[in-house]
Amino acid sequence: MDIVYAAEKSSIADVLSDRLSDRVASGDIEVHENPDETGSFLVKWRLNRYVVSPNGEVSPETTDLAD
C-alpha cells in the first residue's frame, strides 16, 4: 500500500513562518517531496533549505533539493 501525504504550499509557508519567526510567503518557497521520509517536504526559501516533517517540525537540510 502506498501512503501519500499532501499539503498546500500556503500551509507549508505558514508552518515555516511560525517556526522561523519570520514572514514566509508561499510564492517565495520551492517545495519538493522528500524521498527520505514519507509525508515530509524539502523546502527552499531564500538561500536556506529546510525539511518540514509531518508533525510540523522544521529542521535545516544539508543535502541538495531535487530539481
pLDDT of residue 26: 92
**Domain extents for the chain?**
9-60
Cβ neighbourhood burial of 2 (10 Å; 0-12, 13-18, 19+):
exposed
For the chain, the first-to-last Cα distance in angstroms comes to: 26
pTM of the prediction? 0.76
State pLDDT tens for residues 39-49.
889 999 999 99
**pLDDT class of 37 with cuts at 50, 70, 90:** confident
pLDDT at 58 > cutoff 50: yes
Strand-strand pairing, 41-45 and 58-60: unpaired
Span 13-34, pLDDT tens digits: 998 999 999 999 999 999 998 8
